[in-house]
Structure 1
Amino acid sequence: MVAVRRQTAVSPQTWVNAVVPACVRQYGAAELVGGILQGDFEVIVAHSALAEAGFPVPPKDGDRVVRNPTIVDGEFVPGGGVTLTVKHPGDRGGAIGYWMQARGGGVG
């Protein structure tokens, strides 16, 4: 599970959060081409999972993905997990899903 987050307002800070199943993996050395850097992750999320969770699809550059999020009663709790920033939302196959490139490692 990951939490996908989008900031919708700056003052006061407001976020849309969706807790969804995802496949997360770090890119290998042979994949470090173009804009992919060492330490970047690939995050695969189904379009239907994001839409059902109420997330405004599609994901955008700058959205956040929290790996190993703290979840209480099915809701994301800020402050836990590892936050990655989406660098490329990677739309694939229309409404099938998103193969996102994400970067970072800060606390959620």
Structure 2
Amino acid sequence: MFLEPMNKLNVSNLKKCLGNANLNVPLNEIKIDMALHFVEEPVEIMDREVRSLKRSRIPLVKVRWNSKRGPEFTWERDDYMKSNYPQLFVDRAVEPTRKISGRDFHKEGIL
């Protein structure tokens, strides 16, 4: 006995999509890996913060990405970025601009 999926696609639910002819992405700016996934790379470190929880402090960096489809800036863990992209930390040192408490963690939804 086979179970059919609950959500079936019905052609009558499709809507016509009109493309924008003026919206072009230069092909030389797109990087694709072997699995044909878009490769997003960090461009620079914009800012630093230290998030404080009850018993720990988490250093974060604000990263500008070469993204064509998502947010241009994200907050990432400092240790992760240093281990994967050490070249971003060689040229420029950015001082933390503010200290954030654990209560702010959950409000902003970063971690």
Q: How does the TM-score come out when normalised to structure 2?
A: 0.26
Q: Select the structure with the greater relative contact order (CA < 8 A; seq sep ≥ 6).
A: 1
- Structure having the higher helix fraction is 2
- Flag the structure with larger Rg: 2
